[in-house]
Amino acid sequence: MTGHDPLVIAGVELTSRLIMGTGGAPSLLGLEAALLESGTELTTVALRRVQAGGEGSVWELLQRNGIRALPNTAGCFSAAEAVLTAKLGREACETDWVKLEVIADDVTLLPDPVELVSAARQLVDDGFTVLPYTNDDPILSRKLADVGCAAVMPLGAPIGTGLGILNPRNIAAIVADASVPVILDAGIGTASEAAQAMELGCDGVLLATAVTRAADPVRMARAMRLAVEAGRDAALAGRIPRREDALASSPVDGRANLDLAM
Amino acid sequence: MTGHDPLVIAGVELTSRLIMGTGGAPSLLGLEAALLESGTELTTVALRRVQAGGEGSVWELLQRNGIRALPNTAGCFSAAEAVLTAKLGREACETDWVKLEVIADDVTLLPDPVELVSAARQLVDDGFTVLPYTNDDPILSRKLADVGCAAVMPLGAPIGTGLGILNPRNIAAIVADASVPVILDAGIGTASEAAQAMELGCDGVLLATAVTRAADPVRMARAMRLAVEAGRDAALAGRIPRREDALASSPVDGRANLDLAM
Amino acid sequence: MTGHDPLVIAGVELTSRLIMGTGGAPSLLGLEAALLESGTELTTVALRRVQAGGEGSVWELLQRNGIRALPNTAGCFSAAEAVLTAKLGREACETDWVKLEVIADDVTLLPDPVELVSAARQLVDDGFTVLPYTNDDPILSRKLADVGCAAVMPLGAPIGTGLGILNPRNIAAIVADASVPVILDAGIGTASEAAQAMELGCDGVLLATAVTRAADPVRMARAMRLAVEAGRDAALAGRIPRREDALASSPVDGRANLDLAM
Amino acid sequence: MTGHDPLVIAGVELTSRLIMGTGGAPSLLGLEAALLESGTELTTVALRRVQAGGEGSVWELLQRNGIRALPNTAGCFSAAEAVLTAKLGREACETDWVKLEVIADDVTLLPDPVELVSAARQLVDDGFTVLPYTNDDPILSRKLADVGCAAVMPLGAPIGTGLGILNPRNIAAIVADASVPVILDAGIGTASEAAQAMELGCDGVLLATAVTRAADPVRMARAMRLAVEAGRDAALAGRIPRREDALASSPVDGRANLDLAM
């Protein structure tokens, strides 16, 4: 019924709109089960200082399962540091895709808007496919798209908080303005919030700890997979308008002989 | 993975936790497709003045598809009227299950708490399996359970508004207090809200116009089915705690040779 | 400017729209200073088992300061108990005003809707001026007004939680429907919430612990007095509409020589 | 009681914590009455292209009433344009204070974060006392303080929307991080929201259309003055904690002879 509805980033088609992170997983075995249950086809890996992973690494896990790896620049505090990290990652992982993170400090973990734009510009110019993690400012997202990013990935709430989407209007404004896919990244704590992100018009959802640190990561991975699908369907199904006043689902009068007909 | 997890009401097992209503459907054909896509096993039908439905009726549609019918007392404004309607429905539909609605007026469509408890008591005494539509007051839900109702069905928002769950704390309080299944009934407008109801601990969700009046009812039916499953999984998976402060998903320091190992 | 705008309950004019409670005050001296700073002219006192207060009692404090006492039936769990307590209070306090509380249990402290209506009816019939503490159900408020209560006092949130107004739509619906004054009672934690209650159309606010248990009760009493006045003024001043899109406060173009003219 | 509690910006003491704008006022006469009722001591005036105002100008109105004028750079879309406008304003108004606005476009009216920091740096270097209008990103506010701004002025919601404070956590985070005064600027629609801004820890509130476009601007000006005072008092009074569970304001048992003593 829902037909072919892939998420397309930089020309690459992904059937699943759920992008996973790997941080917070207590074991590789548990991580693998959760990733498989999530149905994800794209998963981020930290690459601040790169080294090819051997047997038993996340790298090897992703390759074995045919999941595309998305190196990130987690832990970088400046454009220069992020650009260098991205280049090392490209060499090690043999992909020019990068999740660009340039955070302002290690307490808030919030993006540095000025350094972020600078790094994005440099990486795009250097041929990278750049997916930047950004705050929920519509103007910053626009700047990132304008310098050539392949998607924008605004936060719902600060990393690891599980607070959901603190400012849905900003996310909707980013979507309305966007010329590239919008991926909700950070803040998701539970399934309904992933569905909400999709209903706001996001093209995908990226999350990690909500699954990896849940009591039952595999079950939560399943919940997230279903929620992203549910939210996508709801976004496309044309929801009923919100009304201030009640509306009977069936007429209250004159139903004498018709009740069982409807 | 998720195993056998049925919704049990009055000893009857339902695999689907999504209960549907039929109001608002523009055509029988469209209604049938949406009901089938939703996966529901229990569907309400209005029965204010009862008459067995012939070919081409909702009644016949439900029987043909093996969906259990739940007659309701929509449009009743007093305990006496609701009790009479329920009895006529029992005869016509050959079921002692009834969705009990006693509304205060036809503008707000809100339940009348005093008449509702009175009607519930009478119907329970008369052998009915009573599923009352109620406001979100935890005390009223407790009274309804105390008089022997088989479930309680609090509203998220007034009927037909699509405003979602206006007071999640009340729903959580009803769940915490409940000795019978709790079904969120009324107010749901989109999939994330159905998931949220389940995450709050509800045992099921009842909705009608969110599906029947959506632009694409079948797609929205699918969204709701997935969302209820997602919310149930999320509720059982043990979500991460909400945190005021950010938390890195991976350590920020000392990751020199370990990034690809996690 | 704002002229004569009293709160009128049962024909009695009150200049202040802030009704205070006395519970939670650590000392009589501190309570007196807070009550005076609040500007209240009506204050509730618990009267489950009545006995006239001597020197150094709250009773004497209120009389000395010309503050009208409003005996309440706190701690009553049934209509019969509340009616008896109210009668004892009337005798002891020589007033037929009563704040009617009938709670369902001592954990939630939520009103029992069925017992509350029953007690209200009996007390009105017996000549009392009844101000019932109720949940935020618009139908219950209507029933209380219909049996002759002089005001209705819905909760914003459960007693002592300081969670503010959990369901503003219900409060607005109660106001829209009400034939008697609406006093927001319970749940207020801080000044902005008292202002919000007034903006929703409430005629007054009743609070206790938000002041008596604040670190600086006198300063919080002042905050509440100002907030109730601010909210009342805002409600009457005709606020700007909420808009989805930004709107420049001055035209963006063609202002060459006009900027300092506006 | 509350003593001397001025707002101090760049060494200048202001008794009122309400900063007004003038945009949207239908007449000078009405504007003057509202400004006086608001008690403001600092008021912004648009200065994109500057020219000293003669008799009957806003400029003259402010001078006559002893209200300090705060020229702004409304309508500037780049750092260069804003810096030039600020310099013209300094000459015309004989003040080195400037409300710095660098917006990204004339639809969203949202600040351009990159241009804003650049303009702020240049103006601080040139000796201006800079009060920048910013989005609610804690990192951008930090950058603005770091380059030497005298205050930061984050938005609650986009200009003119009257939506209040869409992301209170961001405002609280800005306050927690700030080394300079924080003024909530833009988005306020009604009095309770101004009080909330102060309760979140803001040092002041700046608003225009909420007053100038209200049905009764003078009454709304009074509401805002009272609300800002109420919020400031509440912030300093030490509010009660928010509790998930109800808490009786007086003990439920053993109150036989003590009720009137408290």
User: Which whole number is the average pLDDT over C200-208?
Assistant: 97
B134-143 b/e with 16+ CB inside 10 Å = b? bbbbbbbbbb
User: Which whole number is the average pLDDT over C83-90?
Assistant: 92
Catalytic position from the list B99, B121, B225, B232: B99
> What sign has the CA pseudo-torsion A143, A149, A153, A155?
negative
Question: Which chains have 3 or more CB–CB distances shorter than 8 Å to chain D?
Answer: A, C
Work out whether strand C204-207 and strand D7-9 pair parallel, antiparallel, or are unpaired: unpaired
Query: What percent of chain B is predicted at pLDDT more than 90?
Result: 76
Which burial class, exposed, middle or buried, applies to B11 when counting CB atoms under 10 A from its CB (0-12, 13-18, 19+)? Answer: exposed
Which of D137, D157, D169 shows the shortest C-beta gap to A113? Answer: D137
Q: Does the distance separating the beta carbons of B173 and C139 come in below 8 Å? A: no
Which of B139, B166, B167 shows the shortest C-beta gap to C111? Answer: B139
Give the minimum alpha-carbon distance from C112 to chain D in angstroms, rounded to a whole number. 15
Question: Quick one: which of B54, B146, B138, B153 has its CA closest to B97?
Answer: B153
Give the pLDDT band of residue D166 (cuts 50, 70, 90). Answer: very high
CA-based angle D153:D159:D164, to the nearest 5?
80
Contact, D47 vs D22, CB < 8 A? Answer: no
> What sign has the CA pseudo-torsion B191, B192, B197, B201?
positive
pLDDT in tens, C106-145: 999 999 999 999 999 999 999 999 999 999 999 999 999 9
Query: Does the pLDDT at position C49 exceed 60?
Result: no
Is D209 annotated for ligand binding?
A: yes
Q: Does the distance separating the beta carbons of B113 and C140 come in below 8 Å? A: yes
Contact, D32 vs D61, CB < 8 A? Answer: yes
Give the pLDDT confidence score for residue C25 in this predicted structure: 85
Give me the DSSP letters along D20-87.
Answer: E--TT-S-HHHHHHHHHHHT-SEEEEE-SS-----TTSHHHHHHHTTPEEEEE-TT--SHHHHHHHHH
Query: Does the pLDDT at position D120 exceed 70?
Result: yes
Give the pLDDT confidence score for residue A260 in this predicted structure: 40
- Pure H helices in chain D: 28-38, 58-64, 79-93, 113-125, 138-146, 168-177, 191-199, 209-212, 217-237
Write out chain C residues lying below 8 Å of D196, CB-based.
192
Give the pLDDT confidence score for residue C150 in this predicted structure: 98
pLDDT in tens, B150-173: 999 999 999 989 999 999 999 999
User: Which whole number is the average pLDDT over B198-218?
Assistant: 96
A205-228 b/e with 16+ CB inside 10 Å = b? bbbbbbbbbbebbbbbbbbbbbbb
Q: Does the distance separating the beta carbons of A110 and D138 come in below 8 Å? A: yes
Contact, D154 vs D184, CB < 8 A? Answer: yes
Give the pLDDT confidence score for residue D60 in this predicted structure: 86
A143 is catalytic: no
> What sign has the CA pseudo-torsion C161, C165, C170, C172?
positive
Give me the DSSP letters along C128-141.
Answer: -EEEEEE-S-HHHH
Dist CA C200 CA C187 (whole Å)? 15
Give the pLDDT confidence score for residue B53 in this predicted structure: 58
Give the pLDDT confidence score for residue D89 in this predicted structure: 87
Query: Does the pLDDT at position D217 exceed 50?
Result: yes
Write out chain B residues lying below 8 Å of A260, CB-based.
45, 47, 50-53, 57-59, 92
Three-state secondary-structure class, residue B210: helix
Give the pLDDT confidence score for residue C115 in this predicted structure: 96
pLDDT in tens, D43-93: 998 875 334 456 568 888 998 999 999 999 998 999 999 999 999 889 888
Distances (CA, A) of D48 to D32, D71, D72, D77: 22, 9, 8, 11
Give the pLDDT confidence score for residue B98 in this predicted structure: 95
Write out chain B residues lying below 8 Å of A195, CB-based.
191-192, 195, 227, 230
State chain D's mean pLDDT as an integer: 90
> What sign has the CA pseudo-torsion D186, D191, D197, D201?
positive
Dist CA A28 CA A22 (whole Å)? 9
Give the pLDDT confidence score for residue B255 in this predicted structure: 35
Query: Does the pLDDT at position B1 exceed 70?
Result: no
Distances (CA, A) of A2 to A16, A201, A232, B37, B123: 13, 17, 10, 12, 44
Dist CA B227 CA B194 (whole Å)? 6
Joined tokens for residue C225: 């007095």
Specify the length of chain B in residues: 262
Q: Does the distance separating the beta carbons of B139 and C108 come in below 8 Å? A: yes
pLDDT in tens, C161-185: 999 999 999 999 999 999 999 999 9
pLDDT in tens, B93-150: 889 999 999 999 999 999 999 999 999 999 999 999 999 999 999 999 999 999 999 9
Dist CA A248 CA B6 (whole Å)? 30
At residue B89, φ and ψ (nearest 5 deg) are -65, -40
pLDDT in tens, B82-102: 999 999 889 888 899 999 999
Query: Does the pLDDT at position B230 exceed 70?
Result: yes
- Start-to-end CA distance of chain A, whole Å, equals 25
Max avg pLDDT among B36-40, C85-89, D3-7, D256-260: B36-40
Give the pLDDT confidence score for residue C252 in this predicted structure: 46
Give the pLDDT confidence score for residue B254 in this predicted structure: 34
Is A234 annotated for ligand binding?
A: no
Joined tokens for residue A88: 């090392």
Contact, B113 vs C141, CB < 8 A? Answer: no
Joined tokens for residue C119: 């007690």
Distances (CA, A) of D98 to A87, A163, C254: 43, 37, 21
Dist CA A186 CA A131 (whole Å)? 14
Query: Does the pLDDT at position C24 exceed 90?
Result: no
Domains and CATH numbers, chain A: 7-237 (3.20.20.70)
Write out chain B residues lying below 8 Å of C135, CB-based.
137, 139
Dist CA D60 CA A195 (whole Å)? 55
Q: Does the distance separating the beta carbons of D138 and A108 come in below 8 Å? A: yes
Give the minimum alpha-carbon distance from A166 to chain D in angstroms, rounded to a whole number. 6
Work out whether strand B153-154 and strand B183-185 pair parallel, antiparallel, or are unpaired: unpaired
Helix (H), strand (E) counts: chain B: 9, 10
Give the pLDDT confidence score for residue A56 in this predicted structure: 67
Query: What percent of chain C is predicted at pLDDT more than 90?
Result: 76
Give the pLDDT confidence score for residue A252 in this predicted structure: 46
Helix (H) or strand (E) holding C72: strand C68-72
Three-state secondary-structure class, residue B261: helix
Which of D104, D111, D167 shows the shortest C-beta gap to A166? Answer: D167
Strand ranges (DSSP E) for A15-128?
18-20, 42-46, 68-72, 97-100
Write out chain A residues lying below 8 Å of D171, CB-based.
none
From first to last of its 262 residues, what are the pLDDT tens digits of chain A?
457 899 999 999 999 999 999 988 888 888 999 999 999 999 999 875 334 456 568 888 998 999 999 999 998 999 999 999 999 889 888 899 999 999 999 999 999 999 999 999 999 999 999 999 999 999 999 999 999 999 999 999 999 899 999 999 999 999 999 999 999 999 999 999 999 999 999 999 999 999 999 999 999 999 999 999 999 999 999 999 999 888 776 554 433 333 343 4
